[in-house]
Amino acid sequence: MNGALRLTLLALLAGCLSACSASGPLPATAAPQTLPALNDGYVLEAGNRLRVVVFGQESLSGEFNVDNAGNLALPLAGSVQAAGISANVLAARIATRLRQENYLQNPNVSVEVLSFRPFYVLGEVKQPGEFPYLSGVTVLSAIARAGGYDYRARQGEVLLIRQTAGRLEEFRATELTPLLPGDIVRVQERRF
């Protein structure tokens, strides 16, 4: 009997220790508390919905989707590569194409992103998952969309995973940290 009790206690202790080590310490780097304008910093990708306005040319303006190949099919301008660049760079490319094809002498083009990549909330929340990005969303509002903290959550200890310069970086985040499209919010588990 003594051996069985000892084995049970050892298994229980191992389980507790593995639960404590499963969510390690947060990174030392804090997440940025200010964001660039989305049209400047957001990199377009397949599936984005864009509003293209060619001023004074209603027939060339409208809402368009970036296709799976990363292109935008536009009247007169044809197919323009959109994935991997910002909305401002795309506007300049469209203007250049319209000028080169001799459709307009001095086109003035603007591009606005209508739908962004979703963000994700994982870890100790009631309903983890993918959520549509809306401008101005913070870590706290993201957690609220995911149903709030779970009873196991270590409130206030949130990991933010963000793609910057083509690689994923981890940051410590506060509840007021603003999110960007594609961000991953991970709520850590409380240590018992």
Structure confidence at residue 66 (pLDDT): 94
Q: Are 75 and 92 in contact (CB under 8 A)?
A: no
Please check whether residues 80 and 91 belong to one and the same domain: yes
Q: What is the pLDDT of residues 10-48, one digit of tens each?
A: 444 344 434 443 445 555 565 555 555 555 568 898 889
Long-range contacts, 152-157 (Cβ 8 Å, 24+): 152/124, 152/189, 152/190, 153/123, 153/124, 153/125, 153/187, 153/188, 153/189, 153/190, 154/23, 154/124, 154/187, 154/188, 154/189, 154/190, 154/191, 157/26, 157/187, 157/188
Structure confidence at residue 37 (pLDDT): 53
> How many structural domains does the chain have?
2
Structure confidence at residue 6 (pLDDT): 47
* CATH code for position 168: 3.10.560.10
Please check whether residues 102 and 142 belong to one and the same domain: no
CA-derived radius of gyration, the chain: 23
**Residue 87, helix vs strand vs coil:** helix
Q: Could you tell me the residue range of the domain that residue 170 belongs to?
A: 117-189
Is residue 74 very low, low, confident or very high in pLDDT (cuts 50, 70, 90)? very high
How high is the mean pLDDT of the chain? 83
